[in-house]
């Protein structure tokens, strides 16, 4: 596995999630400091763009030197000189004009050819690419693996807000949106595509280097646009194969305690006495009756590391699960999940216990196995 460093200037430090006055304590997202870089040379897309940029930059430098030289040369050569007669006066110079038209045409043609060539390299989908359908929605991401059907059931592998891919293989992402226009962008892995309702666009991302990469929605899409993030977890091939096989045969573990059982019941049936609609009408959990797809898939929520489309990670995440269920929009502006103000602390705790129990087998879990880049 070859690893390249970042030679490029196009780096941005990802700030911790910061919102305006509308929100409060989101400042300390664990992703603070993760580097977004379009100069990550581990992606073949970025490499192709980089080499094209080098060619264009070299041409620009040559042009700059040529033009500067011509400027100083003429200023010097034709400057006023008291000792000589007035220089010849003339206007119109066909040869010069032809050059001034011809040379830029040649330069622009070369740049066009380079750009077309690069597009022809990066755009076609390789036959052995992994296909993933990406759907943007206010304010989260659905990732679907259309060629990984569930074992003995209907549907395919889904995940919310965390995209797991194999390193060293092209991934063809087909991007669309549910509601408004979003844009899918994981800079370290390749280019950016608008996610437009009713339209499907396929392009490639890839990386040679296993790791956890940051992605963002990059078109203003509403109040929590800045909180519409995602993670791409690039695993070594063997680990990816383990993950996807386990995801295909996954059945959510049955509730293992009284607390998880109460959580399960509220998740599946709601709680009429608290005016709580069932979570299952919007969230799918593989191997249970929960089949909703209005919100992120929850099948192995316990194996994920983020909450709220990448706002909180790790410990921060766990601290926010109950506030989230109780009143989502209070912790994530514009959040479209209904509030559950009348659930007791006990019920919230039980729901948390249940959804955290939804885990892949350890061998197939993908967090903590590759470094955060």
Helices 314-326 & 345-356 angle (0-180, nearest 10): 130
- Estimate the crossing angle of helix 94-122 against helix 44-77, to 10 degrees: 170
Name which of 279, 266, 182 is nearest 225 in CA terms: 182
**Rounded to an integer, what distance in angstroms lies between the CA atom of residue 29 and that of residue 305?**
12
Which of Cu ion, ligand HEC, none interacts with 3 (beta carbon under 5 to 8 A by kind)? none
- Give the residue with the Cβ less far from ligand HEC, 298 or 370: 298
In the complex, the smallest distance separating the C-beta of residue 35 from ligand HEC, rounded to whole angstroms, is 23
217 forms part of the interface with Cu ion (CB under 5 A): yes
Token pair recorded at residue 183:
């844009």
Q: Which is nearer to ligand HEC, 40 or 162 (CB)?
A: 162
Report which of 180, 181, 155 is spatially closest to residue 292, judged by C-alpha positions. 155
Q: What is the secondary structure of 234-279 as a DSSP string?
A: EE-HHHHHHHHHHHHH--PPPP-SHHHHHHHHHHHH-BGGGTBPPG
Which parts of 67-126 interact with ligand HEC (CB under 6 A)? none
Please identify which residue in 183, 186, 351, 370 interacts with ligand HEC, judged by CB under 6 A: 351
* H or E stretch covering 230: strand 229-235
User: Which of Cu ion, ligand HEC, none lies near 182, with the C-beta cut-off 5 to 8 A by kind?
Assistant: Cu ion
- Angle between helices 258-269 and 345-356 in degrees, nearest 10: 90
Residues 235-294 that bind ligand HEC (CB under 6 A): 267, 277, 279, 281-283, 294
Binding pattern to ligand HEC, positions 304-343, x when CB under 6 A? x--xxx--------------xx------x--xxxx-x---
Q: Using CB under 5 A, which of the segments 53-61, 200-208, 221-229, 256-264 binds Cu ion?
A: 221-229
Q: Could you give the 3-state DSSP secondary structure of residue 46?
A: helix
Minimum distance of Cu ion from residue 228's CB (angstroms): 4
Q: Is 356 in the site for ligand HEC (CB under 6 A)?
A: no
- Chosen from Cu ion, ligand HEC, none, partner binding at 231 (C-beta under 5 to 8 Å by type): none
We find the least distance from the C-beta atom of residue 219 to ligand HEC, in angstroms, to be 16
Find the binder of Cu ion among 30, 221, 331, 360 (CB under 5 A): 221
Asked whether the beta carbons of 303 and 366 are under 8 A apart, the reply is: yes
Tokens at 302, concatenated: 């316990």
d(CA 304, CA 281): 21
How many amino acids of this chain bind ligand HEC (CB under 6 A)? Answer: 28
For ligand HEC, give the closer residue by CB, 170 or 214: 214
Count residues contacting Cu ion (CB under 5 A)?
Answer: 4
- Per DSSP, the three-state class of 283 is coil
- Subset of 146-205 contacting ligand HEC (CB under 6 A): 160-161
Three-state DSSP at 310 gives coil
Residues in contact with ligand HEC by CB under 6 A are: 139-140, 160-161, 224, 267, 277, 279, 281-283, 294-296, 304, 307-309, 324-325, 332, 335-338, 340, 351, 355
Residues in contact with Cu ion by CB under 5 A are: 182, 217, 221, 228
């Amino acid at each position: 596995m070859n690893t390249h460093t970042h030679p490029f200037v196009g780096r941005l430090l990802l700030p911790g999630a910061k919102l305006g006055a509308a929100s409060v304590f989101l400042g300390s997202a664990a992703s603070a400091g993760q580097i977004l870089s379009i100069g990550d040379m581990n992606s073949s897309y970025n490499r192709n763009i980089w080499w094209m940029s080098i060619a264009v930059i070299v041409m620009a430098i040559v042009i700059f030197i040529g033009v500067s030289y011509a400027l100083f040369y003429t200023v010097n050569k034709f400057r006023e000189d008291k000792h000589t007669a007035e220089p010849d006066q003339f206007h119109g110079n066909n040869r010069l004009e032809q050059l001034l038209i011809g040379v830029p045409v040649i330069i622009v043609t070369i740049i066009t050819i380079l750009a077309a060539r690069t597009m022809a390299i990066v755009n076609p989908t390789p036959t052995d690419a992994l296909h993933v359908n990406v759907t943007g929605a206010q304010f989260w991401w659905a990732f679907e693996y259309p060629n990984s059907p569930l074992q003995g059931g209907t549907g395919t592998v889904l995940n919310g807000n965390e995209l797991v891919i194999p390193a060293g293989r092209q991934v063809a992402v087909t991007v669309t949106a549910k509601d408004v226009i979003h844009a899918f962008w994981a800079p370290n892995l390749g280019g950016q595509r608008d996610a437009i309702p009713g339209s499907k666009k396929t392009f490639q991302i890839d990386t040679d280097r296993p790791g956890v990469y940051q992605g963002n929605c990059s078109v203003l899409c509403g109040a929590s646009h800045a909180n519409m993030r995602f993670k791409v977890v690039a695993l070594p091939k063997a680990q990816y194969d383990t993950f996807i096989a386990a995801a295909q045969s996954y059945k959510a573990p049955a509730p293992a305690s009284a607390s998880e059982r109460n959580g399960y019941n509220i998740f599946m049936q709601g709680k009429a006495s608290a005016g709580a609609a069932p979570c299952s009408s919007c969230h799918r959990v593989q191997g249970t009756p929960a089949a909703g797809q209005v919100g992120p898939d929850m099948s192995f929520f316990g194996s994920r590391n983020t909450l709220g489309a990448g706002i909180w990670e790790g410990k921060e995440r766990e601290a926010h699960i109950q506030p989230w269920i109780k009143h989502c929009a209070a912790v994530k502006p514009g959040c479209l999940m209904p509030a559950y103000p009348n659930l007791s602390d006990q019920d919230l705790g039980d729901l948390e216990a249940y959804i955290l129990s939804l885990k892949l087998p350890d061998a197939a879990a993908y967090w903590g196995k590759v470094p955060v880049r």
